[in-house]
Amino acid sequence: MKRSFGFRLVVGGILPWCLSLSCVAAFARPAVAQASPGSPASAPPAQASATQNSQDITTLEFGKPIERELAGGQKHIYLLPLSAGQYAKVEIKEHGINVAFTFQRPDGEILRDWTPYGPHVEDLAVREVADVSGTYRLEIHTTPRAAPGRYEVRLAELRPATENDRALQEARTLFAQYARTRDEGKWSDAKALILRVLEIREKVLGPDDPLVGATLTFVAASYGDEGDYARAEPVELRALQITEKARGPDHPDVAMELLHIGTDSRLRGNLVKAEEMQKRAWAITEKQKLTETPMAAGVLEALGNTRYDAGDYAGAESYYLRSRAVWEKILGPDSFHLSFSYTFSGDVAYQQGDYQKAEAMFQHALSLAEKGMGQESLMVTTYANDLARVYCTTGAFEKGEALYRRVITLHEQKAAMSHPLVQTSLFGLARCLEAEGNWSEAVKVQAKASEVAERYVAVNMALGSEREKHIFLNDLSLRASRNISLQTQFAHNDPSALRLAVTTVLQNKGRVQDAVSSSLTALRQRFGPEDQKLLDQLNGLNSQLAKLVLNGPQRLSPAEYAQKTKGLEQQREQLEGEMSLRTAGFYQGSKTVTLAAIQAAVAENAALVEFAVYRPFNPKAPDNRKAYGKPHYAVYVVRNHGEVQWKELGEARAIDEAVDKLRQALRDPERKDAQQLARAVDVQIMQPVRSLASDATHLLISPDGELNLIPFEALIDEQGRFMVERYSITYLTTGRDLLRMQVTRESKSKPVVVAAPLFGEPEPRQVAGAQPRLKPASVAERRRSTIAAQDLSQVYFAPLSGTAQEARVIQSLFPEAHVLTGTQATKSALQRLIAPRILHIATHGFFLQDANAEASRNTSGPDTKSGQPPALKIEEPLLRSGLALAGANLNQGGRGREGILTALEASNLNLWGTKLVTLSACETGVGEVRNGEGVYGLRRAFFLAGSETLVMSLWPVSDRVTREMMTSYYTGLKRGQGRGDALRQAELAMLKRKDRRHPFYWASFIHSGEWANLDGHR
């Protein structure tokens, strides 16, 4: 991912964050030892013409304006006598020239220092409450290359200071401290100072004042300094709203706010949003005829960075060259502010394999930066990182290591290890050490890098929508692969490498599900009026979106349909972001993830089996596109004590192909090769585990990739036994689930059984030539999924009268259960539930095909000659899966099918405290597999809803067999057996019957989550 320069984090410095033109007087910064890159402050304001004379010094008088001509290299001095406690406001109006100034106390201390950075400022002013009596000094100058122009200066106010004046003066003083503290790399201290500045200004000026908006920009910068881009974004959005309201939608200040938002969006991986914001900023720049200003150069760089992150290196370089031409015209070719421009071009050369050019560009960038800021400035970190990277790539390891260690030491000395750039230095150094074969040292450095990265990930995962969380983790997932690869491919016998790898797996798997679940849980636990309002809004939006997507365009044109769908999706994302912001820091469900904590949660007789998909990393490869190999599987076995055991299982493709063949055989009771295929898969993934698990009798299996879709119980060992005969098996999303299970959840209501919904009979289609609805084969015997369908218009849900008997059996065992059948088995009834102790749903399930995936597999493209409408494109897998309830076949008054509960809607059910959810329907455990995040479908939805345990199916089974299984299962639960053991005993009982020996009959249902009995006893 491209770093940010000029206008954002990496350059540090304050002026780039003061591009909001309304803030210059209030934010004019104190002089510091090092100037900040990205602002034209490199022209020292104190440099005066050698021909200064007494005529350049003028005393300001109240109400008397002075107009003068000024050119580059000239300086005008104004004296301002003040008494302690007086308030003075000096206004400066620009006429054809950008004015810079410094303002000094009587003792010579610089109080304000402003250098022009954009177009002319409308309300440039110096405001000061004198703390001592004496003559204050205002020096007005301009940039060295500026053409002559005129300005006017006027002492506009001179009076005793009010309480508000003194408060705002305190804010200016605090801002000066913030500026110095941030330059020193003390990010946390700087953040506290700028938050105090914001508090004062909001109190005095009100929440919608432009100065408050400008202050918010700096608050967002402080969050960004610590890599907390998720928290920065809502602050920036508020700043944008204030600025637009105060300045209008086409003001340059608005362009700068858009640029800030775009930068953070890019740093979080959301390139579409980033480019949208940047192009809006450029449109304003063009409209205001500011295409040859520093602001224009910054926007062009930002657009180049986004193109770079998208892999469009030619497009990126085009933007970079345009930007550099602007900078050179303004500042000259040797200004240190061009350092970031050269490093951008160096990155492009590096990615294109031109290492000689890349080295030259990076070296020039570093030289300019060091010349302007000094070797000890934190702001040179990124330039040193770049040059070190190219050294390590070309085999100059000693040079590369020296540079990396220099910047790491500098950050350590200045206690600035929280900055995201430190991750780049640490991971870069580790890669250099790996390329040399220095594995032990590489492990130490990479472990430190991962520790820094973990803090960075944690703060960003706390906020934002689910989609934004996925985008953010996509880039970082490769670093997890690096940790695993370092251990499995190179440092085989290094205990530190092993601990790093397994800890990485434990921290990263299922991370998005955890974050989303935490936010929903926090709202449900607090459950105040505002929390309920947010949940109701989310439920409403999800229902609207589900109805719109599943019912299709109806009378809407394709463009109108797409626009309406996108609008609802954007509203949902915004609401998810608001929810996560509201609940950030409230939910403390699982403790800090450490290997020791996980081991302590594993029982003596159990073994945690963590599978992980990773991509082997080659540290000698020239760039990341070539460094990561094809996906592999690894497995880690964690016992209550002792070292973690592990095994590299090989390339994922071969294992996934074997898994797919086994799945097909398990679905068909007539297949004779099921056991043979089960043995083949066992050899690849479980035979190695058995020796690692030693005497464990309970396997806590956390699958990854396609392994999520098979019942491990059906695998065959060396003695020809099914695994269910040897082990109790519990499925987990991640080993972290063991920590979450330690949080007590109380049920809120009695068990509920939903069965035999009255789906209704749809009216025949009236359209000539329309295709009939598909009816599943053997509808009297099987609870079929409609996985072969592409939208619900093709689906007919056949009656399931046999499920009523299933419900009666469960009610006979749990008389307190509330049974909903027929017309009562509705979607709305489910949505009204509040954490029933047990929720059993016996109906049809469905998982629709992804039309996009199908089209990509069809090399001939869509059928344009058949006259059939194109397949419905539903990208969200939680909208392609769901359950059929009462009225599922009916199009009610043109409103669509009201009897469909999508997985997206199910994720908002209130099941926090529900001990067991049983989805006695077809293929409720399948869905879209995402490596590291599990299965997206009903499985994910019901865990998000809060269920402790989920029993689900992996293929369709007949009503009769399912009824037998559920009768046995609930009988065991009633006797006090565990939620896992009761299912295992039901499977073993069926396995003993000759006519049920095929895994098709007994292995379809698996259980995931808590395995204790319903009273919580294990």
pLDDT tens for each residue of 801-816: 889 999 999 999 999 9
Cβ neighbours of 335 (radius 10 Å): 21
* pLDDT score for 522: 67
490 secondary structure, DSSP code? I
Q: Cα torsion for 834, 835, 838, 842, to the nearest 10°?
A: 50
- Check pLDDT > 90 for residue 571: no
* pLDDT score for 485: 95
Q: pTM of the full predicted structure? A: 0.74
Alpha carbon 312 to chain centroid, angstroms? 23
Phi/psi for 485 (5° steps) reads: -65, -40
Phi/psi for 452 (5° steps) reads: -65, -45
- Check pLDDT > 90 for residue 184: no
The beta strand positions in 590-631, using DSSP E, are 606-614
* Mean pLDDT, the chain, whole residue set: 83
- Check pLDDT > 90 for residue 112: no
| Mean pLDDT for the stretch of residues 273-288 | 94
* pLDDT score for 609: 98
Contact 822, 735 (CB under 8 A): no
- Check pLDDT > 60 for residue 21: no
| Mean pLDDT for the stretch of residues 538-551 | 73
Place of tokens 């016992």: 639
* pLDDT score for 51: 39
Contact 233, 260 (CB under 8 A): no
Place of tokens 């002026």: 15
| Mean pLDDT for the stretch of residues 606-630 | 90
pLDDT digits (tens, 9 = 90+) for 849-875: 665 544 444 433 333 333 334 444 566
Phi/psi for 297 (5° steps) reads: -60, -40
Percentage of the chain with pLDDT > 90? 54
- Check pLDDT > 90 for residue 560: no
Q: State the Cα–Cα distance between residues 523 and 459, nearest whole angstrom.
A: 19
* pLDDT score for 935: 80
pLDDT band, very low/low/confident/very high, at 29 (cuts 50, 70, 90): very low
Find, among 462, 586, 582, the residue nearest to 533 by Cα.
582
Contact 744, 525 (CB under 8 A): no
| Mean pLDDT for the stretch of residues 268-292 | 92
- Check pLDDT > 50 for residue 280: yes
pLDDT band, very low/low/confident/very high, at 39 (cuts 50, 70, 90): very low
Phi/psi for 957 (5° steps) reads: -130, 155
- Check pLDDT > 90 for residue 270: no
pLDDT band, very low/low/confident/very high, at 523 (cuts 50, 70, 90): low
Find, among 641, 639, 644, the residue nearest to 608 by Cα.
639
* pLDDT score for 115: 73
* Bridge partners, 821 (sequence order): 755
Percentage of the chain with pLDDT > 70? 82
| Mean pLDDT for the stretch of residues 68-94 | 93
Cβ neighbours of 766 (radius 10 Å): 6
- Check pLDDT > 90 for residue 49: no
pLDDT band, very low/low/confident/very high, at 204 (cuts 50, 70, 90): very high
- Check pLDDT > 70 for residue 216: yes
* pLDDT score for 744: 82
* pLDDT score for 34: 29
pLDDT band, very low/low/confident/very high, at 793 (cuts 50, 70, 90): low
Q: Which of 233-242, 265-274, 602-611, 750-759 has the lowest mean pLDDT?
A: 265-274
Q: Which residue has the higher pLDDT, 460 or 928?
A: 928
Q: State the Cα–Cα distance between residues 177 and 167, nearest whole angstrom.
A: 15
- Check pLDDT > 80 for residue 780: no
Phi/psi for 901 (5° steps) reads: -105, 105
* pLDDT score for 40: 33
pLDDT band, very low/low/confident/very high, at 7 (cuts 50, 70, 90): very low
* pLDDT score for 581: 66
Find, among 895, 951, 912, the residue nearest to 552 by Cα.
895
